[in-house]
Structure 1
Amino acid sequence: MTRVKRRITSGMLINANTVVNGEKITLVPYENHHVVRYHQWMQSEELQQLTASEPLTLEAEYQMQQSWRQDEDKCTFIILDLDVYSKSGKENEDEIAAMVGDVNLFFNDEDNKHSAEIEIMIAEPSARRKGFGKEALQCMMQYGIHTLKVEEFTAKIGFKNIASIQLFQKLGFNEVSRSEVFEEVTLKYSVADQTHTSQAALKVFHVRPYRLKS
């Protein structure tokens, strides 16, 4: 996630009461009760470097979470480890324990409303290399295609983030440009250009209402 972009606008009203279930992960809207854990993540110098961001105060993070909920050009989900999430009946506390990262869509192309920039962050080191990032991207792409009518995805990733570049390429993204100034590569996925087989490779997902209220 590139938090600099989220300072401009970010959260989509359409997913405010939506849960997306995969096989290993669950995507839930970014709510008030997630902020403290999210804020703790963003104190990490590693994550600040990977997301090209600066740390906020906790108060500013709460304010930002509220503003993200009002922006119709952004769609933000918190990624939960489904195994941890399913173990407790205390939903609020269980969500915090299950948080591993976030995934986002940015509809910032004024000339193409069916184009979205996609970003992902697996913040918990213990949750990496478990397939969570791949599945979260697949679920978000399916949600974008079927619910938000996305026809084209782009991803901008730093040169040094080789693992993320390789992950997006495995999902069918192709490099279209490089910026030496920003030290990032731009990858693109066109829904129309994908074969039926490659589209089917995106995980089947299930959408249900998000009943938890903060």
Structure 2
Amino acid sequence: MKKKERAAEIMNRLSKRYPAPEPALTWSNPWELLVATALSAQCTDERVNLVTPVFFERWPEIRDAAEADVAEIEEVVRSTGFFRNKAKNIKAAATRIMGEYGGEVPRTMAELITLGGVARKTASIVLANAFGVNEGIAVDTHVKRLAFRMGLTANTDPLRIEKDLMPLFPQDKWGEVNHYLVFFGREVCPARKPKCGECELADICPKKGVQ
């Protein structure tokens, strides 16, 4: 089976398993999703969802975060790990949004990646889920692992993996591809002990049983 055929079959099967995929992070507007996604680096979504209500109660608007004391942000986000960098980046992003983008989260990849701590993965997640815009495929650890196991890439660098994946899937589905692979990676194909015996992709998986 060629890569594009396998990719289409993966989409077909996982779209049935996850008919309405949405981020596991809790958010209600683009800024909240951006902050939550930034905090989720090296942290569980469950932990982030405990922290963000406290964050947004303290600093409900982008302007509030831009004016906040970075040390106070650090205390609130401490439990998510790498809290100093995350706090610095969130404040920097808020400050730039207020100064350069009129207080509104920008809607293009080129603009989003100018914000503090925002790389392509975070930008792709915000664009696809908050604005319905697909400029890339967010590649996290689950997407990276499944793309390799399913024979869709031989690369290990997230940017190269993204370039390998983008031609294999329809552009209007790029946001959903991330959800499908993340959810399936967590539930069925984890890094250790993949559940090949109950995997609905096992018959088309070229690396069945590989950890």
- Verify same fold: TM over 0.5: no
- Bigger RCO of structures 1 and 2 (CA < 8 A, at least 6 apart): 1
Q: Greater helix percent: which structure?
A: 2
What TM-score, normalized to structure 1?
0.30
Q: Greater strand percent: which structure?
A: 1
